[in-house]
Structure 1
Amino acid sequence: MSEQKLSMTKRRTYLVQMFYRYLLMDNDVNYIKQDILDETQEKLDVETTLIANNIAEKLSDLKNEIKKHLSSNWKWDRIPTYIQSVLIIGAYEIIFTPTPKAVTINELVNLVKENEVDFDYKFVNACLDKVIKL
């Protein structure tokens, strides 16, 4: 694992990329945790690795939390996989970290604007805004 601490922005970007890959491959939690341990140690700091494992553990609950906030004309499977990943990372950060909700939403909306230009970023903003911090 890297000794250097990642910035929050870089950490979010790595996490979105990681979980995008896991969702695309429809990996189960055990595979995800092993992959985090095996392949990402060189890029990730200890804190990012811990967060990635926590997200993997809570993946099903995070998906369910997001699904609760989707309008009736949106189904989980209809959402592009990259956006699913963004929503999962955002929901985790909103619910389980002290990061201000507005900061999390703003940075993830910017990621969507940069990487999924054909998707309406307002969807991500609205969905994450409905997630309640515990």
Structure 2
Amino acid sequence: MVFPEELLYTKDHEWVRIEGDTATVGITAFAQNELGDIVYVEIETLDQSVERNGIFGTVEAVKTVSDLFMPIAGTIVEVNEALADEPELVNTDPYGAGWMIKLKLEEDANAADLLAAADYKKQVGADA
């Protein structure tokens, strides 16, 4: 299982790519593997400010629905529209075409408790 080194991770299995004052967020390969085939992604928080650990959407797999948790405080400025027609992108390319949201970070956004790839690997029991 792949966990790109340049990303940060949450204990709730989201990944974050921070570039300046913007961040891209999705769910990890581990999370999509645990959920199984993704059939629907619902994100209705565009243009909304969401606090860290707040729910920004849901992902539906064949057998379950899971909340998506905001890894860092910010205002959602873009939603991956491709997921409306191709939710399976979350399964096939979770760190690329399967991204979920882009957000403008809050000034006081705190990324201190996000995990490096090696720490996330240990959390999920993958080889470090």
More helix by share: 1
Q: TM-score, normalised by structure 1?
A: 0.26
More strand by share: 2
Q: TM-score, normalised by structure 2?
A: 0.27
